[in-house]
Structure 1
Amino acid sequence: MSVCVECKKPLDVELDPEEEEEYETAASSSGKAPAAATETVPDDVQLTCGCHFHWDCLLEAYQVTECPNCGKNIASTSSNGAQQVLCNLNNEGGLQTDLDILPLLTEEFYLKAYPEDRKCRAFLEFCREGDFKAIIDMLQDDEVDEDDDEDEEMADDDQPGKEVGIDRMLRYQDPIGEMQSGLHAAVQAQSREVAWLLLLLASNLDLLEFPPEVFQEAAALGIMRGLTEDKVDIRSLRDANGKTAEDVANEIGGVWVGWTGNGRLAI
């Protein structure tokens, strides 16, 4: 049986009690008695060089272009010319072959270096998915006193484990994702609902430009615009290619027809 080349232990991981309960529930609903095997699940990352790692062991030892065990080159070039790191990944979700894990590795290493950005990145991912409800939940869970001193707020944001201010989440730009803002992400996701929310909370767009339905929904959720005049307008943020969210909307068209050129997405 193959073992992890880093820690020399079998390529599986024990389930925590909650995960084990989920497996037992699934087994019961299928009419099968839960077996002892449900106590562990596979945890096997097989690189192109043939070496096997646990996921966490790979993260601890990972080097971008070489296998940390045998030193062979594990990076390759995709059909569109981008760098990739392919592997066969076998975990609780099943076996996935020729999976590019470079984006996952890149994000994990970024978060290891900047753990204070974890909530901001989760917020941005919800914008990319157009998940309005999840965004609202995050904003409500992380509500902070808008009257706090700005310098004090910045100091708190920069310390791991501290609460991340709403202003920082709203205006976060992805340093490993072409500096996208939440508004860029909402535009690409073609989510008008998320775009309206971000414009309400993080722009100086005249309130007369908002449909009544936006205010009704915001009021029902207990969301209000604070002072925005002294803060960066989210519409002015540019990605790594120098594009604003309106520039992206112009390229996409579709649901954004009628939005561009009238100030909704641009100052």
Structure 2
Amino acid sequence: MAVCVTCNNPLILEIEPDDDSDTEMGEPSSGKAPIPEPTIVPDDVHLNCGCHFHWQCLLEAYQVTECPNCSQNISTTSSSGGPQVLCNLNNEGGMQENLDILPLLTEESYLKAYPEDRKARAFLEFCREGDVRAVIAMLQDEDEDEDEDEEEIKEGEGEKTERRKMGPDELLRYQDPIGDMQSGLHAAVQAGSREVAWLLLLLASNLDLLQFPAEVFQEAEALGVMRDVVEDKVDIRSLRDSDGRSAEDLAKEIGGVWRGWEGTGRLSI
């Protein structure tokens, strides 16, 4: 049976049950509830060079084009002409063959170098999912519950420096450096989420409030958010991706739910 080439352990992962997970009714004679057993799932990244890794072991040793174990080139060219890293991935979700993991590896490598961007990238993902409540929760979160390793970095032995924390204004105007410099507004447009787009326009643009439907204000009030002073801040509508496109340019390409927004100034200035 293959083992991880980094740690030489079996290609499995033990998932501990949640503290509040349900247990079987009744208690043993000792009077204590039974301790749930951890769930065993596969954890096997089989690269095209033949080497097997645990996912976390691969992330910790990852090099862009070479296998960190045998140094063989693992990057190939996709049908679109771009680079890819194909593997067979077997995890709790099942077996996935010829899966391109380059986007995931690129993101994790970036976050290893710039861990302070982890929250911003999660914010963009919620914008892409159209999850308004999650977007608002992140804007209201003060990082009080983050792990110590996310708040501090070690610079030399015994020395720690507090990580830079990204505030709501910076989060709202963040542009993804490994995702074509898209903003949250670009992400919302691409996902077809008018609800998230209206929220971002309310909080990070100086769009005339008369352009907003009444239900936008009602929903914002119910969720505890409202526009702050925006005149001296970057208007999210002015942000352009790496191809020079505004959110409105992207909306024109997509059409669909964005028909009727063109030329209104809602997505571009």
Q: TM-score category by the smaller chain?
A: 0.7 to 0.9
2:197 equivalent to 1:182? no
SS in 2 for 1:18: coil
Equivalent pairs counted in the alignment come to 243
- Runs of 4+ in structure 1 off by over 3 angstroms are 19-22, 159-163
Q: Do the aligned partners of 1:20 and 1:39 also contact (CA within 8 Å) in 2?
A: no
The equivalent residue for 1:216 is 218
Partner Cα distance (2:20, 2:221) in 1: 41
Give the superposition deviation at 1:162. Answer: 5.4
2:114 equivalent to 1:128? no
Matches within 5 A, 1:12-91: 12-18=12-18, 21=21, 39-91=39-91
Partner Cα distance (2:85, 2:228) in 1: 44
Q: State which of 200, 203, 206 in structure 2 corresponds to 1:204.
A: 206
Of the structure 1 ranges 127-136 and 201-210, higher mean CA displacement relative to structure 2 is found in 127-136
Give the superposition deviation at 1:257. Answer: 1.4
Partner Cα distance (1:132, 1:121) in 2: 15
Q: Which residues of structure 2 form unaligned runs of 5+?
A: 25-34, 145-160
SS in 1 for 2:85: strand
> Structure 1 residues 265 and 160, CA, compared in 2 at 3 Å: closer, same or farther?
farther
SS in 2 for 1:110: helix
Give the superposition deviation at 1:65. Answer: 1.4
Give the superposition deviation at 1:66. Answer: 1.4
SS in 2 for 1:117: helix
Give the superposition deviation at 1:91. Answer: 1.3
Q: Do the aligned partners of 1:88 and 1:98 also contact (CA within 8 Å) in 2?
A: yes
Give the superposition deviation at 1:143. Answer: 9.3
Question: What letter matches 1:83 in structure 2?
Answer: P
The equivalent residue for 1:156 is none
TM-score, normalised on structure 1?
0.85
Would you tell me which structure has more helix in proportion to its own residues? 1
The equivalent residue for 2:112 is 112
Give the superposition deviation at 1:141. Answer: 2.6
Q: Do the aligned partners of 2:17 and 2:36 also contact (CA within 8 Å) in 1?
A: no
Q: Do the aligned partners of 1:204 and 1:229 also contact (CA within 8 Å) in 2?
A: yes
| 1:221-244 CA distance string (max 9 Å, x none) | 111100001100000001000111
SS in 2 for 1:3: coil
Give the superposition deviation at 1:59. Answer: 1.2
The equivalent residue for 1:234 is 236
SS in 1 for 2:231: coil
Question: What letter matches 1:201 in structure 2?
Answer: L
Give the superposition deviation at 1:40. Answer: 2.4
* Aligned-pair Cα RMSD in Å: 2.3
Q: State which of 239, 244, 247 in structure 1 corresponds to 2:249.
A: 247
The equivalent residue for 2:147 is none
Partner Cα distance (1:13, 1:183) in 2: 38
| 1:10-33 CA distance string (max 9 Å, x none) | 1112222329958x88xxxxxxxx
TM-score, normalised on structure 2?
0.84
> Structure 1 residues 40 and 225, CA, compared in 2 at 3 Å: closer, same or farther?
same
2:141 equivalent to 1:141? yes
Partner Cα distance (1:143, 1:220) in 2: 23
SS in 2 for 1:214: helix
Question: What letter matches 1:60 in structure 2?
Answer: E
> Structure 1 residues 16 and 64, CA, compared in 2 at 3 Å: closer, same or farther?
same
SS in 2 for 1:17: coil
Q: Which residues of structure 1 form unaligned runs of 5+?
A: 26-33, 145-158
Partner Cα distance (2:187, 2:261) in 1: 16
| 1:27-51 CA distance string (max 9 Å, x none) | xxxxxxx996x54221111001111
